[in-house]
Amino acid sequence: MSIPKIVYNPLIPNQEVRLLATIRSTDIIKLYDKLSGIDTSSYFSSIDSVSLYQCNTTGYRFYYPFNLAGDGAFYAEIQRKKKHEGLDYYRDWSYDNEFARELIFKDAKVLEIGCGTGKFYEGMRLKINDFTGLELNEQAVFQAQEKGYNVRNELIEEHCKTNPGVYDFVCAFQVLEHIADVGSFLSASLSCLKKGGMLIIGVPNNEPYFQRFNKYETFNLPPHHMGLWNLSVFEKLTKFMPLSLKKVMYAPKNERILVDAYLRAKLWSGVKSLPRFHSAYDKLKMLLLAPVTVPLSIIKRYTTGINGGYIVVAFEKI
């Protein structure tokens, strides 16, 4: 597939973008197969490579083509695989949920986008009773509705048409990175908020890549993730949308110097495989970079610190 000269900016349509990198489709398919046993080949049947672009103004990075985003069936398959392993794809109560709990006042009207089976609401029931959840995984919707939760299989773009200015809080935990048309998603979310209401967003912290420098982190690639976010992008977003950034929190800091150095070396050496699949040659290439990567990670740890792998922000609608 040829790459067009002009690619639509999904965050700020009138701002220019530039090509940062291309990743072979076969590499992505192999990574998903090795990590999770999920066949993603149907998403890449007509393309040889995936492009990573960056907005010149905000720094937001996104994958192209946009139609690579996983659908409800894709997430149902991940959920099924996790359940088979005795795990749950939908997280238990986490740092970003606690961040939101401290901001949400009693009896507030709350909308959660991408609510899964309703775990956030389960932790908030004593504080709020007016909750609406949106979820596209039909299996998760069924499980939430079985528990009596007000959860709908509906896009935020549809929901906002009948619920303008209704909510005090709109929350999206680990959702925005999955969305291709992020501008539409954010505009619809804001439309649902009352003036002065709060938009709370939690995403993987990509500085510059998830879990620091890991360009080939499998679940940070399409069809799972479609965009890469960090604090700088959120800060610049306030110049283009009626938002004021009020509060920021990183997940507990990852201060493991050797892990940070390993991920730097993995990126610089071009190693794409998962740790358990590293060849002797892969290990040698990364080891030879240790005299540079380890000191850099030590400096980072004891100067600015090594931020956690996730970030959550709270915006006020103005």
Per-residue pLDDT reduced to its tens digit, 23-68 = 999 999 999 998 888 999 999 999 999 999 999 999 999 999 999 9
pLDDT in tens, 96-128: 999 999 999 999 999 999 999 999 999 999 899
* Rounded Cα–Cα distance for residues 46 and 34 (Å): 22
Q: Are 145 and 151 in contact (CB under 8 A)?
A: yes
| 3-class SS of residue 19 | strand
CB 259 within 8 A of CB 298: no
CA 229 to chain centre: 7
String of DSSP letters for 129-179? SEEEEE-S-HHHHHHHHHTT--EE---HHHHHHH-TT-EEEEEEES-GGG-
CA distance 120 to 233: 26
CA distance 132 to 298: 45
Pair 176, 222: CB distance under 8 Å? no
DSSP state of 243: E
Burial of 156 by CB count in 10 Å (0-12 exposed, 13-18 middle, 19+ buried)?
Answer: buried
**From residue 52, how far is each of 7, 21, 121, 258 by CA, in Å?**
11, 5, 35, 28
Residue 89: alpha-carbon gap to chain centroid: 14
Omega within 30 of 0 (cis) for the link into 275: no
Q: Residue 90's pLDDT is what?
A: 75
* Average pLDDT of the segment spanning 208-212: 83
The predicted pLDDT at position 5 comes to 53
Q: Which of 264, 258, 226, 253 is nearest to 310 (CA)?
A: 253
pLDDT above 70 covers what percent of the chain? 97
Q: pLDDT tier at 2 (50, 70, 90 boundaries)?
A: very low
Mean pLDDT in the chain? 92
Domain extents for the chain? 95-207+236-253+307-317, 257-302
Q: How far apart are CA 46 and CA 49, in angstroms?
A: 9
Query: pLDDT band at residue 1, thresholds of 50, 70 and 90?
Result: very low
Residue 21: count other Cβ atoms within 10 Å of its Cβ.
Answer: 12
Pick among 3.40.50.150, 3.40.1160.10, 3.90.1150.10, 2.40.128.20: CATH of 95-207+236-253+307-317: 3.40.50.150
Share of the chain above pLDDT 90, in %: 73
pTM of the model: 0.88
